[in-house]
Amino acid sequence: MTRQQYSVLIIDDAYTVREYLRQTLMHLGITQIHEASSGNRGLSAFNQHQHDLVFLDIELPDINGQQLLQQIKTQADKTHVVMVTAHNSIDNVQQSIAAGASGFIAKPFSPLKIKNIVERCLAAKLN
């Protein structure tokens, strides 16, 4: 699987976060990028495309990101889900990893952090 074939979904209610992630992913050579501004829209987009990687905000206006993580992992356990939050608490990290998250990043994050996560998830997909 090449980066061009890799499909990513960004679920975050903040437009600036979605745009930053989209630009960073495009710079990394990923062209199949979908976005959703709410949990319900994100779940709908996921059901339509079955993405390889999901960047998922923990605090969404309509659904808790932890609950959405569980729904995604139930439907497609091989999908990598990286939790995104402005509140980097130990409880959030532990709950996310226990529910099957592949990673956890705190806002604000750097392009290098995104690159490292994408490369790790892509390598795991190839194995």
Sketch the domain layout of the chain as residue ranges. 7-126
**Beta carbons of 49 and 5 less than 8 angstroms apart:** no
pLDDT at residue number 74? 92
Which region holds residue 3: left if phi is over 0, alpha if psi is between -120 and 50, else beta? alpha
Please give the Cα distance from 51 to 27 (Å, whole number). Answer: 19
Buried b (16+ CB within 10 A) or exposed e, 75-112: ebeebbbbbbbeeeeeebbebbeebebbbbbeeebeee
For domain 7-126, give the CATH superfamily: Response regulator (3.40.50.2300)
Q: Where are the beta strands (DSSP E) in the chain?
A: 7-11, 32-36, 53-57, 80-85, 103-106
Tokens of 80: 């990598």
* CA–CA gap between residue 102 and residue 97 (Å, rounded): 7
Q: What is the pLDDT of residue 88?
A: 65
The tens place of each residue's pLDDT in the chain, 127 residues long, gives 566 688 999 999 999 999 999 999 999 999 999 999 999 999 999 999 889 999 999 989 999 899 999 999 999 989 999 999 887 677 777 888 888 899 888 888 899 999 999 999 888 876 6
> Measured between alpha carbons, how far is 108 from 28 in angstroms, rounded to an integer?
19
Task: Give the pLDDT confidence score for residue 8 in this predicted structure.
Answer: 96
Cα–Cα dist 77/112, whole Å: 26
pLDDT at 2: 66
pTM of the prediction? 0.93
